[in-house]
Amino acid sequence: MPGRRRFGRKEIASIMRKLSTDDKTAGKIHEVTGAIKQTAGQLTNNPSLEANGRTEKNAGKVQNFVGKVEKAVGA
């Protein structure tokens, strides 16, 4: 098809490495933010904030894991 670009194996691997790094970084940020919210919820006796923090921390762990899997698959 005209106008469609085909990527080579090296280009795809490079893109996957960048995506995996982005996911790992964003995941780590969510983990830290979630841990802070969770601790703040515990200290202020705010169960809602604590639960939100726990949820965000776990979502960050999942995103970090996805980044590691993408790196392993793309390598």
Residues of the chain with pLDDT under 70: 1-20, 74-75
Distance between CA atoms of residues 58 and 35, nearest Å: 9
Given this model, what pLDDT does residue 58 score? 93
Residue 40 counted as domain residue: yes
Cα–Cα nearest to 33, from 55, 65, 64:
55
Q: Which two tokens stand for residue 11?
A: 């280009």
Residue 1 counted as domain residue: no
Residue 4 counted as domain residue: no
Given this model, what pLDDT does residue 52 score? 94
How many structural domains are present in the chain? 1
**pLDDT, tens only, 19-33:** 667 888 888 999 999
Q: Which two tokens stand for residue 23?
A: 């996911």
Residue 2 counted as domain residue: no
Residue 3 counted as domain residue: no
Tell me which residue range forms the domain holding 41. 10-74
Give the H or E element holding residue 34.
helix 9-43
Residue 5 counted as domain residue: no
